[in-house]
């Protein structure tokens, strides 16, 4: 038997899925569909397309993006932790945990730096 709290979650989830299905179905039935060649082309900020969209990029672009996401996520974790630490007085264990987290990220940054991942050429 489900507890009452989980029942609310299941009802909310069910209503959300039903609403999503109805909205997507209505959008598909009601939208105008008149494709023509110009409408189906890739849009790149206005200028006409002069080469195929599939080009090979240097892997360093992706590496830079991943490093940015890594340190952006670090800030997303670090800022709320600092606010909670200031207000709640979390203690020495919380400080040690955060130092371990930052040290692991620093090791990753040093590794990326040593392997030349941060060189832009």
Per DSSP, the residues of 43-86 read: P-SSSPP-S-S-----HHHHHHHHHHHHHHHHHHHHHHHHHHHH
The answer on pLDDT for 62 being more than 90 is no
Give pTM, 2 decimals: 0.45
Alpha carbon separation from 82 to 62, 69, 87, 100 (Å, rounded): 30, 20, 9, 15
Query: What is the Cα–Cα distance from 106 to 78, expressed in whole angstroms?
Result: 14
Tell me the C-alpha to C-alpha distance, in Å, between residue 103 and each of 7, 14, 40, 96: 43, 43, 49, 10
Domains detected in the chain: 4-114 (1.20.58)
- The structure tokens listed for 111 are 């590794």
Q: Above 90 in pLDDT, residue 50? A: no
Mean pLDDT of the chain: 80
Q: Exposed, middle or buried: residue 90 (CB in 10 Å: 0-12, 13-18, 19+)? A: middle
């Amino acid at each position: 038997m489900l507890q009452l709290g989980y029942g609310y979650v299941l009802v909310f989830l069910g209503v959300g899925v039903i609403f999503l299905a109805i909205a997507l179905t209505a959008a598909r039935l009601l939208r105008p569909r008149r494709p023509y060649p110009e409408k189906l082309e890739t849009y790149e900020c206005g200028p006409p397309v002069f080469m195929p969209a599939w080009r090979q990029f240097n892997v360093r672009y992706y590496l830079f993006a991943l490093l940015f996401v890594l340190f952006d996520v670090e800030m997303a974790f670090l800022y709320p932790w600092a606010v909670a630490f200031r207000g709640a007085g979390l203690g020495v264990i919380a400080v040690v945990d955060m130092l371990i987290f930052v040290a692991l990220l620093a090791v990753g940054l040093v590794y990326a730096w040593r392997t030349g991942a941060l060189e832009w050429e």
